[in-house]
Amino acid sequence: MSAFYRFARAVIYPFFIWLLPVKIIGKENIPKDSSYILCSNHTSMSDPFFKVAIFKNQIHFMAKAELFKIPVVKNVLSAAGVFPVDRGKGDMTAIHTAEKILREGKILGIYPEGTRYKTGAPRKAKSGVAYIAMNTKADILPVSVYRNGAFNIFKKTTIRIGSLIKYNELVDKELSERANMKNIVNRVTDEITKLWEMKH
Query: What DSSP letter does each residue of 28-39 carry, written as one string?
Result: GGS-SS--EEEE
DSSP secondary structure letter of residue 113 = T
Residue 134's pLDDT is what? 96
Residue 16's pLDDT is what? 96
Residue 172's pLDDT is what? 94
Give the mean model confidence (pLDDT) for residues 3-27: 95
Give the mean model confidence (pLDDT) for residues 162-172: 96
The confidence band for 176, taking pLDDT boundaries of 50, 70 and 90, is very high
* Residue (of 2, 49, 3, 4) closest to 22 by Cα position: 49
Question: How big is the CA angle at 152 (ends 149 and 154), to the nearest 5 degrees?
Answer: 105
Kindly report the average pLDDT of the chain as a whole number.
95
Residue 2's pLDDT is what? 87
pLDDT digits (tens, 9 = 90+) for 89-108: 778 999 999 999 999 999 99
Distance of CA 1 to the CA centre of its chain: 17
Give the mean model confidence (pLDDT) for residues 153-179: 96
99 vs 88: CA distance, rounded Å: 18
pLDDT digits (tens, 9 = 90+) for 44-84: 999 999 999 999 999 999 999 999 999 999 999 999 999 99
At residue 87, does pLDDT exceed 90? no
**Per-residue exposure over 9-44, b if at least 16 CB sit within 10 Å of its own CB, e if not:** beebeeebeeebebeebbeeebeeeebbbbbbbbbb
The confidence band for 137, taking pLDDT boundaries of 50, 70 and 90, is very high
Give the mean model confidence (pLDDT) for residues 143-162: 95
pLDDT digits (tens, 9 = 90+) for 22-40: 999 999 999 998 899 999 9
pTM above 0.85, yes or no: yes
Residue 29's pLDDT is what? 98
Q: Which domains does the chain have, with CATH numbers?
A: 3-197 (3.40.1130.10)
